[in-house]
Structure 1
Amino acid sequence: MPSRHGHPRWGLAVVAAFAAACNSTTAPPQAHLADPQQLSSDVQTVLGVLQSNVFESFGVVSTDTGSPAAVATPAGALLGVAPFTVPRSSSQPYADAPRRLQALRRAAGALGSGISASVIPPQYLGQTFVWDDATHKYVVGPDAGPSNGVRIILYALNPVTGAVAEPSSAVGFADLLDESTTSPAVNKLHVIVKDGTPASPGPVTYADYSVSGSVTGSPATAFTASAIGFVSDGTHTLSFDATFSATNLTTDNPDAQIDVTWDLDNPVIHVVLHETLATSDANHLAVTIDFSVTRGTETVSVTGTVLVVLSPPAVTANLSITVNGVAYARITGTANATSNDIVRRHADGSAVSAAEDQALYDLFLLPLEMEIAIESLFNPSQHLMGG
């Protein structure tokens, strides 16, 4: 009898244990952000360093009429593939990624003639370019510039047109210094952006970084570049170390890879971005993203893909977010010119709070905006170097 009554109790224990195991396997841990609002705030602080008025002014020197950085020379090509500008509209994020591939292609073409002793044309060396309201363009000014480079005075912009506002008002200046060498063979441009005037510079250095690049083939089939230095808004300093490579440049479907680390000093934030851009044809692009944001003891990581169609324009996201390695959320769906079905939910399918939704949206845009920033650090050099 005892044995007959013991088996049911043993069986119940097995069933209970099995049920517990099933519950643990079907309901994996659901991570949560320690402070979603603070994460959004910290992300905005990082991006805010890249959005000062002086940076805006520096960003347009690659397109302003008469600017030496708007001329197709080897120095412009380096700036065209470098990291900062004001992030573009986020209404269709990632939709302009193919244009950024074209910047890499132009840079490679500009450098394709090989390494020379200089990436800045001799006629620009030692000159300072200033804005002339009468002709609405940059002209050579009366003051001397750096002997191994060119100086460009930066001006306040019209908030509506994005062009230099007239009457013009100087807000800073940029020195583009040629540090190229033939042994070793390196195309290198040193960029310094400051406030004040050359005669009386202000206390803020908004940017100080170097860009170098080289190509393979003639015509160029591959391109590599690197940028290292810092940018600042006068309060925060954001250091960066970036490398770029692009292949298949002679086809209508070039590919690229970008690796960047950003380090903000206050608050202390460490951002790592690895991104590849692969084109199957001239109309389709796949962006593979692997990046993380570390603040204190919390690391938020985002991995996945964003598929881009140029015409008709569409963006499809499939991204996973973890907190300290534990599944937290997913960003999935498609956005096009008429609708946006991209949704942000917890990994277990439950709805996120308003604060979490904003944090996830900021994380979705962060790789795009930082990669655009990286590209723009190179931008004025792109045209100087022939892009």
Structure 2
Amino acid sequence: MPAHHRHTRWGLAVAAVFIVAACKDSTGPQAHLSNPAGLSSDLQTVSDVLLSPTFRSFSKVSDTTTGSPAAAPSRVGTLLHAAPIGPPRSSRTLDAYSAARLRALRLGAATFSAGGAISASVVPQPLLGTTWVWNTTTHSYEQDGTFTPAAPTDRVRIILYAVDPITDDIVETPLTPTGFVDLVDESTTAPAVDKLHVIVSGGTPTSPGTPYANYTVSATVTGNPASAFTASASGFVSDGTHTLTFSATFAATQLDTDNPDIQVDITWDLDNPAIHVELHETFVLSDASHITLTITEFSVTHGAETVSMHGTITITLLSPTTETVTMNLTIDVNDEPWVRISGTDDGITVRHNDGSQLSGAEGQAFLDLFGLPGAIEFAFVSLFGPCQSLMGA
């Protein structure tokens, strides 16, 4: 789905709630946004940083259908997917990425367990010093041994190409390079850490252009089979005008059981306008089919105003593709309640704390706020994607 299609199935249901939830049911003091349209604009700026053409091209590096060396199963690959950045095609709801993160962390732990102890290298030796380009005949990436300049021997280099925003495929007529990514192996054995340095640049290897991303991803695993897994990332992404600096940690314990626990901590800082975003959440499984997502803090600070969400989402997995979701969330403005989200599936309601309905501008600000964690999560999937494959997913 194109990136501008921002309403998810649940988001459309929420929009309907704004119309019908007009009854009053006072539960305490009522806060209001000082500038709902301003908040929406700021949130959109954060999301748009992840939608630059070069960054969209970078997301194809982790696509298993492209033949990319960073998409094939390996230890580096596990890293990039378990602790996820790529352009969000649409807003992702909190429940959707909760289940996806659980699957990614389980896969990551299994991969590292199967691969044994931390190795001195996450990039397979045959890939070091190679450059990969797109072949319009095979419609996939292939190694180009004659490419100049040759990639340094500590990395694998992948040329990036324009991507059709509608089909999400690399455009072959004409084939248009948009930049390149270097995956630099910085792993160590003392201490034992799998580490990858990812550098996404515009231009060409001969004449590098705008830096669109520069970050490191590292991972450690405990036990064999794995019982705990931790991945972290730090660095920045940019659209050439705005820069988002981030730090993220993903940790899972009890991975050798059917009910692992997961902790996610992410901070983002946008340079212009100055916006600070924090996401702290835990996933607890009572069994293999029941997940409780606790949002300790998801906050956006812009100017003198901090908008923060906290509460729980309970998910029951009915099948690999279906689930039932119960939400009990509160959104505060400068620590005063603004909106409450509660209910199960189609019965989920969104109201002011005093029971009144949101205005149109508030409703859009809510949708933008609620969609941002999913955009951040999806972005991290692309950032961690190359590591996931190279590390063994």
TM-score category by the smaller chain?
0.7 to 0.9
Q: d(CA) in 1 for partners of 2:225 and 2:305?
A: 47
Q: d(CA) in 2 for partners of 1:90 and 1:213?
A: 28
SS for the counterpart of 2:272 is coil
Matches within 5 A, 1:119-138: 119-138=122-141
| Contact 1:284/1:309 (<8 A) preserved | yes
Instruction: Name the % identity.
Output: 57
State the match for 1:173 in structure 2. Answer: 180
Q: d(CA) in 2 for partners of 1:296 and 1:160?
A: 35
Q: d(CA) in 1 for partners of 2:220 and 2:243?
A: 28
Q: d(CA) in 2 for partners of 1:239 and 1:287?
A: 25
Using the TM superposition, give the Cα deviation of residue 88 of structure 1 relative to its aligned residue in structure 2, in angstroms: 4.7
2:336 maps to which of 317, 326, 330:
326
1:301 maps to which of 308, 315, 320:
308
Using the TM superposition, give the Cα deviation of residue 83 of structure 1 relative to its aligned residue in structure 2, in angstroms: 4.1
1:140 maps to which of 140, 143, 154:
143
CA shift in 2, pair 1:253/1:60, >3 Å = farther
State the match for 1:218 in structure 2. Answer: 224
Q: d(CA) in 2 for partners of 1:294 and 1:50?
A: 19
| Contact 2:78/2:388 (<8 A) preserved | yes
Please list every run of 5 or more consecutive structure 2 residues that lacks an aligned counterpart in the other structure.
1-25
Q: d(CA) in 2 for partners of 1:88 and 1:276?
A: 25
State the match for 1:159 in structure 2. Answer: 165
Using the TM superposition, give the Cα deviation of residue 92 of structure 1 relative to its aligned residue in structure 2, in angstroms: 5.7
Q: Which moved more, 1:227-236 or 1:162-171?
A: 162-171
State the match for 2:325 in structure 1. Answer: 315
1:384 maps to which of 366, 382, 390:
390
Using the TM superposition, give the Cα deviation of residue 315 of structure 1 relative to its aligned residue in structure 2, in angstroms: 2.6
Q: d(CA) in 2 for partners of 1:89 and 1:349?
A: 29
Q: d(CA) in 1 for partners of 2:229 and 2:285?
A: 16
State the match for 2:106 in structure 1. Answer: 105
State the match for 1:57 in structure 2. Answer: 57
| Contact 1:85/1:376 (<8 A) preserved | yes
| Contact 2:50/2:379 (<8 A) preserved | yes
CA shift in 2, pair 1:99/1:27, >3 Å = closer
1:229 matches 2:235: yes
Using the TM superposition, give the Cα deviation of residue 345 of structure 1 relative to its aligned residue in structure 2, in angstroms: 1.3
Matches within 5 A, 1:342-381: 342-381=348-387
Matches within 5 A, 1:192-211: 192-202=199-209, 204-211=210-217
Partner deviation per Cα, 1:120-178 (whole Å, 9 max, x = no partner):
00000000011111111111012221211100111122334322222332111110000
TM-score by structure 1 length? Answer: 0.87
Q: d(CA) in 1 for partners of 2:357 and 2:372?
A: 22
| Contact 2:30/2:354 (<8 A) preserved | yes
State the match for 2:87 in structure 1. Answer: 86
Q: Which letter maps to 1:253?
A: N
Partner deviation per Cα, 1:70-93 (whole Å, 9 max, x = no partner):
122211122122341222544765
CA shift in 2, pair 1:92/1:118, >3 Å = closer
Please list every run of 5 or more consecutive structure 1 residues that lacks an aligned counterpart in the other structure.
1-25
Q: Which letter maps to 2:313?
A: V
Q: d(CA) in 1 for partners of 2:228 and 2:326?
A: 28
Using the TM superposition, give the Cα deviation of residue 102 of structure 1 relative to its aligned residue in structure 2, in angstroms: 1.7
SS for the counterpart of 1:210 is strand
Q: d(CA) in 2 for partners of 1:157 and 1:183?
A: 41
Matches within 5 A, 1:198-277: 198-202=205-209, 204-277=210-283
SS for the counterpart of 1:175 is strand
Q: CA RMSD in A?
A: 1.9
CA shift in 2, pair 1:292/1:47, >3 Å = same
Please identify the structure whose Cα radius of gyration is greater.
Answer: 1
State the match for 2:191 in structure 1. Answer: 184
Q: d(CA) in 2 for partners of 1:329 and 1:249?
A: 36
Structure number with greater CO (CA < 8 Å, separation at least 6) is 2
Using the TM superposition, give the Cα deviation of residue 36 of structure 1 relative to its aligned residue in structure 2, in angstroms: 0.7
| Contact 1:64/1:138 (<8 A) preserved | no
CA shift in 2, pair 1:93/1:301, >3 Å = closer
SS for the counterpart of 1:378 is helix
Q: Which moved more, 1:81-90 or 1:377-386?
A: 81-90
State the match for 2:9 in structure 1. Answer: none
| Contact 1:128/1:140 (<8 A) preserved | yes
CA shift in 2, pair 1:272/1:150, >3 Å = same
1:29 matches 2:68: no
Q: d(CA) in 2 for partners of 1:220 and 1:351?
A: 48
